Structure 1
């Protein structure tokens, strides 16, 4: 599963785009590079029934922003570029 697929699944599960979830995370004090993953995982599980993989995708975005290190991505395929945070509706070609 691509990183973007985790973010898309998070939107499906919660009904909120990743950007909307970042806003809620900030309101809860979770938006910093030092955020504890366990706190975010617990919040998403308790409030939305989200699994660990999807929650960890949001933790990554909270800590690092929407870009993925070039160490982990190529220039083609599903693991490239910046992640879409404004939801599936912003997916090119949809």
Structure 2
């Protein structure tokens, strides 16, 4: 599953766009330098019922931003994506 597909599935499950969840994470004090992945995963599991795979996609966005390594773009692996920048504003507004 691509990183973008994980984020799209998170939106479908929670009703919140990745950007909205990112804002909630920041309001909880989760920042790039100090937050541990486990703390974010616990929050996402408790509040939204997200498992580790989906949670780790959001951990990436919280800790590293929407950019992903170019090695995933156009690749054939399980985390292949069409772009090196993840769309955070929701599936309905994603450009084709």
With normalisation by structure 2, the TM-score equals: 0.86
Distance 1:23 1:87 in 2: 14
* Preserved CA contact (<8 Å) 1:84 1:90: no
Q: Structure 2 regions of 5+ residues with no counterpart?
A: none
Alignment gaps of 5+ in structure 1: none
Q: Runs ≥4 in structure 1, deviation > 4 angstroms?
A: 75-78
2:95 is equivalent to residue 92 of structure 1: yes
Shift of 1:58: 0.6
Question: What's 1:32 paired with?
Answer: 32
In 2, distance between residues paired with 1:76 and 1:92? Answer: 21
CA–CA distance in structure 2, aligned partners of residues 73 and 53 of structure 1: 17
Query: What is the RMSD of the two structures over their aligned residues, measured on CA atoms?
Result: 1.7
The secondary structure found in structure 2 opposite 1:85 is: coil
SS in 2 for 1:42: helix
User: Which residue pairs with 1:73 in the alignment?
Assistant: 72
CA distance in 1: counterparts of 2:33 and 2:69, whole angstroms: 15
Q: 1:69 to 1:30 in 2, by over 3 A?
A: same
Deviations 1:18-49 (A, max 9, x none): 00001110111112233201110000110011
